[in-house]
Amino acid sequence: MIWASWNDFWAMGGYGLYVWGSYSVVALVLLLEVRAAGQRQRRAIAQVHEHKEDTDI
């Protein structure tokens, strides 16, 4: 597809809302997943440290 201007590119032949909306949703979900993975990792590390302290009597 060849666009005559940046406006045509962003409009995507009338489907811009769906195209860019889809990209936005995917980007948001990926960011949320990265954040959730970091939180799960921190929780797991904290549990390992707690377990280690409990067994170091």
pLDDT per position as a tens digit, 3-26: 789 999 889 989 999 999 999 999
The per-residue pLDDT for 55 is 81
pLDDT surpasses 70 at 57: no
Angle at 9 between CA 2 and CA 26, to 5 degrees: 120
Six token digits for residue 15 = 């489907």
| Dihedral, 29, 35, 40, 46 alpha carbons, nearest 10 | -170
Instruction: For residues 37 and 20, give the distance between their C-alpha atoms in angstroms, rounded to a whole number.
Output: 26
Instruction: For residues 3 and 15, give the distance between their C-alpha atoms in angstroms, rounded to a whole number.
Output: 14
Half-sphere exposure in the Cβ direction for 51 (13 Å, CA): 6
- Residue 42 or residue 52, greater confidence: 42
